[in-house]
Amino acid sequence: MADKKAIDKLIEELTRLPGIGVRTATRLAYHLLSRPKEDIEALIDALHGIMEEAKVCSICFNISESDPCPICADANRDHSTICVVEQPQDIAAIEATMAYDGVYHVLGGVLDALAGVDEEQLHIKELLARVSQGDVKEVILALNPTPEGETTIRYLAKILEPMGVKVTTLARGISAGSLLEFTDKKTLTNALANRIEVR
């Protein structure tokens, strides 16, 4: 059995993960300690692998094993439609619906004055550069329905409007304050299908 300091250090590191509090981190730590050594080594190898192989797509800022990512590189995707999301995990949630065949743009967060996040810290300039190339017909603002997400939607709609593209957002079958990554496939599929134009 590992000594108390080692266990405490593991619990402390696990609590750095999103959504993991001390109680869950403690359960996970003791679960890991109960696993065979080869299971732990496989987990360590997977973590090392992702650190070495993960790349940020220079086009959409998704995380992938290649640059550009497989979605941006796929000629069969509709490159005239860009779905703007907050984080890479939102792409995974939308892709799971199999209801969208366009491309993506990861902002890297939302505008949040209280947290000190402004447009300079997000991938907004890059989005505008993509749209200004003239091939984009629609930008879907698929941001989480939080106050900060709504503020960011309004800001983006205002700066995209003069560029002559259709700007839409997801229909609100998604409850306010919920996150896309935790939204069920059917609700997300309906929200995509019934998206509304932002004015």
What domains are defined for the chain?
Answer: 4-53 (1.10.8.420), 63-197 (3.40.1360.10)
pLDDT of residue 44: 87
- What are the structure tokens assigned to 57, written together? 């797509």
Q: What is the pLDDT of residues 59-109, one digit of tens each?
A: 999 999 899 999 999 999 999 999 999 999 999 999 998 999 999 999 999
Determine contact, residues 106/85, Cβ cutoff 8 Å. yes
Average pLDDT of 41-70?
A: 89
Q: In the predicted model, is pLDDT for residue 20 greater than 80?
A: yes
pLDDT > 90 fraction of the chain, expressed in percent and rounded: 60
pLDDT at residue 51 greater than cutoff 90 = no
* Beta pairing, strands 63-64 & 55-56: antiparallel
pLDDT at 28: 93
Inter-CA distances, 108 with 22, 56, 69, Å: 27, 11, 16
Is the pLDDT at 23 greater than 90? The verdict is yes
> Does position 136 have pLDDT exceeding 80, yes or no?
yes
pLDDT at residue 52 in the model: 77
pTM above 0.85, yes or no: no
Provide the residue type at 102 as one letter: G
Buried b (16+ CB within 10 A) or exposed e, 120-151: eebbbebbeebbeeeebebbbbbbbbbebbbe
> What is the helix (H) or strand (E) element at residue 9, kind and residue range?
helix 4-14
What's the confidence (pLDDT) of residue 177?
A: 61
pLDDT number for residue 90: 95
Q: What percent of the chain lies above the pLDDT cut of 70?
A: 94
